[in-house]
Structure 1
Amino acid sequence: MTLMTKPIVTSCLAAIFAAPALAMDLPEPLKLEDFIQFDQAQVELGQLLFYDKVLSGNQNIACATCHHHDLNSADGVSLGIGEGGAGLGMRRSAGAGADQIIERVPRNAPGLWNLGHKDVEVLFHDGRVSVSDDFGNGFRSPAWIFLPQGLNSLLAAQALFPMTSEIEMAGQPEENPIGGAAYDAPHYVWPLVEERVRAIDGYLPLFMDAFDHVETAEDITIVEIVNAIAAFEGTEFRNFDSPFDQYLNGEEDALSDAQKRGMALFYGEVGCATCHSGPLMSNQSFQALGLPPFGPGITTLNDPIARDVGRMTVSDDPEDAYRFRVPFLRNVALTAPYGHNGAMPTLEAMVRHHLDPEQSNAAWREEMASLPPVSWLEEEDFMLLANAAETGRIRAKIDIDLPVLSDAEVADIVAFLHGLTGETALQRPMGRPDTVPSGLPVD
């Protein structure tokens, strides 16, 4: 697709190259002290729990299955296969017979980069877990007042909920006690997970080393479990040595000319930084982008359609329909596909969608989705896309209005986004463990 050519303001670019920090409202450089500093013993324990399938109802899926080191902390697909599947990414199978999955995970698995930053205030695509004093436990979440006390971070609060999802980790009510508990309420799941971990002898000395107050297996609670997972995620996926980071630290030659032009557009006339602002390149607001709907949707109370209305599922405000959290952009080139449902396969496709969401939505095709094949879900996968009324509502609710750009300008913005990839991003300090204390297989 060729877009209308529009001249770039050369005087603006000249000013940028001469004094980048003054010409644009660039973020402050990321520093180690900007991040929560976690105890190393908790980090090491968290690595094992992150990869241990014992936390899932049928003991067949771990946190890492959808946020794997081999897939840059995500899973590399539009909509993943959760509990009941086997393998990773596009090669993940969907089970067979009584164990086959009944639906895909309804939203794209986001990357975990830099989520231990102290400025992170909201997680999940719909923001259902956020920093808040509303319930006296430090967070607003689907568990309301039943969220446990003592969580060390928003990451820990987030880690509680995938294990309460029947599709993601818990399994179905008839399959195991955790699946049954998840059907009733999230906080019924966590004591059962505690019992699982307490019963594994190899975990006790690790918890004792990581937490001073743990002396017996009975002292291990869900709080210690998710605090350790958060410690691992917040430390392992901390990364800020990209060319952009180097540029912010005064190394003007760290970015190529194309990346500097893209940065000028991003922070200048295109206005990307209106939403992608701050050190993590997200203002953590919720915006409707008009992405095409597909997958199982998320069933909400009294809604006749199993669709995904985004932030509205949390706020119950019709104004929030089809709005999703603005994603953080560090290492974004490593976590395709893009969007709350992974609709856009490449960074270029996602940038072009932002420039003309309605046209992009209309032109979108099923083959653009990266979906592990599941023969019995083929008809369901794109039912929402065929619903003209629903697609019309989505196209009518778009919050962004960006200027027309030339192909060269699009290429420059994409080049800049690649400049956000850390030089050591693929060299994580710990990586995947060979074994875990439960003895269950490690993906």
Structure 2
Amino acid sequence: MGVSAAVADPITMDDFVDADPAQARIGQLLFYDKILSGNRNISCGTCHHHDLAGGDGLSLGIGEGGRGVGPERIAVDIRKRIPRNAPSLWNIGHNSVDVLFHDGRLEVSDQFGNGFDSPAEEWLPSGLDNIVAAQALFPLTAQFEMAGNPGENDIAGATHDRIDAAWPIVSARVRAIPDYANLFIQAFDTVDEPLDITIVEIGNALGAFINSEWRSFDSPYDAWLIGTPLPAAAERGRALFFGEARCASCHSGPLFTDQGFHAIGLPGFGPGRTRTFDKLPRDVGRMGETDLLSDAYRFRTPSLRNVALTAPYGHNGAYPTLGAIIAHHSDPAAARAGWIPDMAQLPEVPWLASVDFAIRQDSREMARQDAALDINPVALSVSEISDITAFLHALTGQTADVRPLGRPTTVPSGLPVD
């Protein structure tokens, strides 16, 4: 593919799903309101914070049971780290996005009659506006993210009965707060009284906020698309990216992702995304969703929009810098061999230390991960890696740090805002 053929058309506002401003305002409050969590101690914004470009700056997050934000977050009482890096929210409201999560466990689909193939299967309610609205509901049911542990609260208990059993409890919490009830009545045609507020309206409000809040397409690269030259290093990096380095074979299209799944051989560590019948602290990626051996260790291609703002990198945050993750793509075997645990941004949790890197002692598992590689490495010099890094910085929006609504200082529940 030639360089010109790989270049996407400029992004415009018409390329995004609609987001009602009144609903987005409710979503902004809910996004930072800990009322949605089982123990009322964590919000969506804790791990997707405005001060951290919609992320948390950690390789593997500290969810329910932690205190603080980002690299300063501490574990107070947690049983497990969140097994994957907090995914970026930038531009996920783009019309091209039809699959989300690192393993793609949420997809636009008619399979269950509600618009999506999701972990909730036929129990996901109908009426969710788009995939982002659907996605927003699943952290609420995740034990180590927002739900909490069985026996601690009614949401955690209900979730362990069936995934959809917790959502009516969440809805009841929200509609019991008069300020939320009034806002929903004003913003939603489906809500005439507080009892009409369901998890569908909550998901749609969160979706409206995320879809409108994290749009970004005013980078130097976007200016280049309409005729403004890039700085010399970024231009050399652009030529490599779309040319000899073959980065665009996966990072293609307006969002720099093919939305596909690829094994790139990242170093394994962390608690893993364990399955009921597979307790090894490993993450088999897409295979965990499809049960196909051919999908083992494959993960969704991330968008590279604003990627310079969202370190660390990889589905488990294995690499702290853009240069390091590019070098890994250039020579995965050497990068894996040279990777050391200090490269992972993991707040100290002494009672989990024995688990953090345990999988690396399993020689057979390491061999399986070594063998799973979809990319065809292209040797890059130090200067070429530097140029590609410069190009990736040119994908940072000029106004990325100026969001339409931002972080609220207070929320209707009265709970503290991270």
1:185 corresponds to which of 154, 158, 162:
162
Q: Distance in 1 between matches of 2:171 and 2:89?
A: 24
Q: Distance in 1 between matches of 2:293 and 2:265?
A: 16
Structure index of larger Rg: 1
1:370 corresponds to which of 342, 345, 366:
345
- What is the 5 A alignment of 1:45-56? 45-56=26-37
| 8 Å CA contact retained: 2:6, 2:253 | no
Counterpart of 2:303 in structure 1: which amino acid? F
- The count of corresponding residues between Structure 1 and Structure 2 is 418
Cα drift, residue 25 of structure 1 = 2.0
Counterpart of 1:192 in structure 2: which amino acid? I
Counterpart of 2:284 in structure 1: which amino acid? V
Q: Distance in 1 between matches of 2:358 and 2:258?
A: 33
| 8 Å CA contact retained: 1:79, 1:107 | yes
SS at match of 1:280: coil
SS at match of 2:107: strand
- What is the 5 A alignment of 1:125-136? 125-136=102-113
1:144 aligns to what?
121
1:249 aligns to what?
226
Q: Distance in 2 between matches of 1:226 and 1:427?
A: 24
1:317 aligns to what?
292
- What is the 5 A alignment of 1:199-348? 199-251=176-228, 253=229, 255-348=230-323
| 8 Å CA contact retained: 2:58, 2:346 | yes
Q: Which runs of 5+ in 2 are unaligned?
A: none
Q: Deviations over 1:189-218 (max 9, x none)?
A: 111101111111110111011102211110
2:15 aligns to what?
34
Q: Deviations over 1:283-305 (max 9, x none)?
A: 00000011111111111132241
Counterpart of 2:101 in structure 1: which amino acid? F
Counterpart of 2:222 in structure 1: which amino acid? D
Counterpart of 2:307 in structure 1: which amino acid? V
2:395 aligns to what?
420
Q: Distance in 2 between matches of 1:429 and 1:406?
A: 40
Q: Distance in 2 between matches of 1:378 and 1:308?
A: 18
Q: TM-score w.r.t. structure 2 length?
A: 0.98
| 8 Å CA contact retained: 1:38, 1:231 | yes
Counterpart of 2:70 in structure 1: which amino acid? G
Q: Distance in 1 between matches of 2:344 and 2:336?
A: 13
Identity fraction in percent: 58
Q: Distance in 2 between matches of 1:440 and 1:193?
A: 15
SS at match of 2:152: coil
Q: Distance in 2 between matches of 1:227 and 1:173?
A: 27
Counterpart of 1:206 in structure 2: which amino acid? L
SS at match of 1:385: helix
SS at match of 1:228: helix
Q: Distance in 1 between matches of 2:8 and 2:248?
A: 10
Cα drift, residue 271 of structure 1 = 0.9
Q: TM-score w.r.t. structure 1 length?
A: 0.93
Cα drift, residue 406 of structure 1 = 1.4
1:350 aligns to what?
325
Q: Distance in 1 between matches of 2:264 and 2:128?
A: 33
1:163 aligns with 2:140: yes
Pick which of 378-387 and 217-226 moved more. Answer: 378-387
Q: Distance in 1 between matches of 2:358 and 2:244?
A: 38
Counterpart of 1:229 in structure 2: which amino acid? L
| 8 Å CA contact retained: 1:24, 1:268 | no
Cα drift, residue 23 of structure 1 = 3.7
Q: Which runs of 5+ in 1 are unaligned?
A: 1-11, 17-21
